[in-house]
Amino acid sequence: MTCRIGQMRKTVEPCSIVIFGASGDLTARKLIPAFYHLFMAKALPTPFHIIGFARREKTDDQWREELHAALQQFSRTKPVDEAVWMEFSKNISYCQGDFSQPEDYKKLEGQLANLKNEQLRHNLLFYLATSPSQFAEVVEHLHNADLLHHELNDKTWQRIVVEKPFGHDLESAYQLNSDLTKYAHEKQVFRIDHYLGKETVQNILMFRFSNSIFEQIWNRQSIDHVQITVSEKLGVGGRGGYYEEAGAIRDMLQNHLLQVLSLVAMEPPVMLDPEPIRDEKVKVLKSIRQILPADVAKQVVRGQYFAGMIDGKLGPGYRQEPKVKSDSNVETYVAVKLLIDNWRWSGVPFYLRTGKALPLSASEVRIQFRPTPHVLFAAQCGPKLDANALTLRLQPDEGISLRFNGKVPGTSLQVRPVRMNFSYNSEFGAYTPEAYERLLLEAMTGDATLFIRRDEVETAWGIVDSIRKGWGDKPLTNREFYSAGTWGPVAADDLLAQSGHAWRDPRPIL
Ligand code: BG6
């Protein structure tokens, strides 16, 4: 029996979506394909309208043609359904404008008024697909053009959707947040972390809190440690310019990995509403013991890949990637041991790691349970007797696997680990909507559960800042390099070995 949760959820009201930075990659690769699929699934309201706002001169038709070409390339379903596209594209238009010019916002206002529908004119989702340095300017102009109102009222709404990076440290994030909330209420700001749009990440809450057997053992009495791995096979490739400013800790750990950690470690919320859920997540982040600069060497490992073989092909080192300095010390790998100082988790290490140019693209959470007491089987098998483990495979081969020991059939007494697997594909079929589809729909309904609240962003930056302070401008040492195609620097193994632990590298769930 399937239980539908959230049936009372508000439906999506007719609205206009205005995309700032409409000529960019994000619009072509992610946003328009997501809206197209939502339209195909009849999930968009009637009516709706999409306006692209960007500097380049072009007509509505030219923009539609560009989007059509992009859709053919990036759509998750192919071929593009031309009849659906024809209908969908009737709701798309273009507004040529400069972010800094007040009169261009007036022009936008005029275009919205021309839609001759009060809801399309006043229910507005502003998607800032721009550089964060332009957020403050765009928001101020929207306010001045009477398009964005700070107050929330029941009749109409305006919301702002922004993408990471939300700053590059706590101070800049604070500034950015202050700029955004100067003309809009925090509840009108939707900060995307696309990991929260992934089915498997959303399932962490369902899995934990809708099954009594797991929640009872989800604590320091039963769990030895937790490993969260987000590994990527690709190197930095063409994104060297951005990556030189970010590095793995800002690009991945500050957001995706800490978000996953907070879902794994949070207390049950009092209800499945955005604020109770986000309150619990932020409590976890705030309970993470600060890593003092002097302890960074003991608790954090950074690394950078040099040239190496991936899938039988020689890949370049990070320093040879385009737009990367030849003596760059930016980390392409980071592993960290975090301790959460609360009643549930005291003394349980959470090991987080992420890196580029690793052997496999895979994200997973491994809950490693405590070993059995040293009697009976453990006394005879020693470390060969595996402790139980639960793996939440986030991507690819999405699934959950429970590892436990069983008797090998036969007359001799032998014990070995076996697995019980749940695979999304075999259970639910190949249903893989893009994270953006879910996130855009949630932003249109005004449900902020899957978006990051200001205090979450700022607390996460506090954690990252103290680590970065410990690194200072020290250059990477030899021990911090790893060959592309391997599981990171050896120091990452030592990080776990200090406590008698070892990384379990992701493997496909069959
Ligand atoms: C992005 C990072 O946020 O996430 C990229 O900027 C990274 O560097 C990407 O490759 C990973 O996302 P996914 O969904 O492929 O795991």
| 209, 352: one domain | yes
| 91, 226: one domain | no
Average pLDDT estimate for 111-133: 95
For 259-324, the DSSP string reads HHHHHHHPPPPSSSSHHHHHHHHHHHHHHBPP--GGGHHHHEEEEEEESEEETTEEEPPGGGSTT-
Average pLDDT estimate for 187-206: 95
Instruction: Specify the ligand 1 atom closest to the Cα of 236.
Output: 8
| 142, 248: one domain | no
Q: Which of 232, 305, 354 to probe ligand 1 with, by most ligand atoms within 8 A of CB? A: 232
CB-based contact 198:363 (threshold 8 Å): no
Is 73 inside a domain boundary?
yes
For 193-219, the DSSP string reads -GGGGSHHHHHHHHHHHS-HHHHTT-S
The domain containing residue 385 runs over which residues? 196-260+298-433+476-497
For the Cβ of 232 lying below 6 angstroms from any atom of ligand 1, the answer is yes
Is 285 inside a domain boundary?
no
Is 443 inside a domain boundary?
no
Is 393 inside a domain boundary?
yes
> Which protein residue has the closest C-alpha to ligand 1 atom 8?
251
Residue 403 tokens, joined: 């590892």
User: Does residue 429 surpass a pLDDT of 90?
Assistant: no
| 382, 306: one domain | yes
With tokens 């979506």, the residue in question is 17
Instruction: Specify the ligand 1 atom closest to the Cα of 239.
Output: 8
Average pLDDT estimate for 8-31: 89
Average pLDDT estimate for 434-463: 95
User: Does residue 3 surpass a pLDDT of 90?
Assistant: no
pLDDT band, very low/low/confident/very high, at 8 (cuts 50, 70, 90): low
| 114, 156: one domain | yes
| 87, 211: one domain | no
User: Does residue 490 surpass a pLDDT of 80?
Assistant: yes
Instruction: Specify the ligand 1 atom closest to the Cα of 234.
Output: 10
| 405, 306: one domain | yes
Average pLDDT estimate for 153-173: 91
CB-based contact 300:475 (threshold 8 Å): no
Is 508 inside a domain boundary?
no
| 149, 204: one domain | no
- Which of these three, 114, 142, 163, is where a domain ends? 163
> Which protein residue has the closest C-alpha to ligand 1 atom 13?
195
Instruction: Please tell me the distance from the alpha carbon of residue 107 to that of residue 239, in angstroms, as a whole number.
Output: 34
- Element holding 128 (H helix, E strand): strand 124-128
Is 34 inside a domain boundary?
yes
Average pLDDT estimate for 238-266: 96
Instruction: Please tell me the distance from the alpha carbon of residue 315 to that of residue 309, in angstroms, as a whole number.
Output: 6
| 114, 31: one domain | yes
> Which protein residue has the closest C-alpha to ligand 1 atom 9?
252
pLDDT band, very low/low/confident/very high, at 508 (cuts 50, 70, 90): low
Residue 185 tokens, joined: 């209420």
CB-based contact 352:253 (threshold 8 Å): yes
Average pLDDT estimate for 337-364: 97
pLDDT tens digit sequence for 223-249: 999 999 999 999 999 999 999 999 999
User: Does residue 383 surpass a pLDDT of 90?
Assistant: no
> Which protein residue has the closest C-alpha to ligand 1 atom 10?
232
For the Cβ of 104 lying below 6 angstroms from any atom of ligand 1, the answer is no
Burial 265-281 (b: 16+ CB within 10 A, else e): bbeebeeeebeebbbbb
Is 5 inside a domain boundary?
no
Number of domain units in the chain? 2
User: Does residue 502 surpass a pLDDT of 70?
Assistant: yes
Is 8 inside a domain boundary?
no
| 125, 255: one domain | no
Instruction: Please tell me the distance from the alpha carbon of residue 448 to that of residue 439, in angstroms, as a whole number.
Output: 9
| 203, 159: one domain | no
β-partners of residue 365 are: 228, 392
* CATH code of residue 84: 3.40.50.720
For the Cβ of 251 lying below 6 angstroms from any atom of ligand 1, the answer is yes
Residue 194 is predicted with a pLDDT of 94
* CATH code of residue 315: 3.30.360.10
Q: Ligand 1 centre and the CA of 293: distance in Å? A: 27
| 59, 140: one domain | yes
User: Does residue 41 surpass a pLDDT of 80?
Assistant: yes
Taking the CA atoms of 285, 287, 292 and 297 in sequence, report the sign of the dihedral they define: negative
User: Does residue 20 surpass a pLDDT of 60?
Assistant: yes
Average pLDDT estimate for 66-85: 96
pLDDT band, very low/low/confident/very high, at 509 (cuts 50, 70, 90): very low
Instruction: Please tell me the distance from the alpha carbon of residue 220 to that of residue 429, in angstroms, as a whole number.
Output: 36
Residue 365 is predicted with a pLDDT of 98
User: Does residue 456 surpass a pLDDT of 50?
Assistant: yes
Residue 385 is predicted with a pLDDT of 79
Residue 431 is predicted with a pLDDT of 66
Pairwise pLDDT comparison (492 vs 430), residue with the higher score: 492
CB-based contact 254:340 (threshold 8 Å): no
Pairwise pLDDT comparison (1 vs 186), residue with the higher score: 186
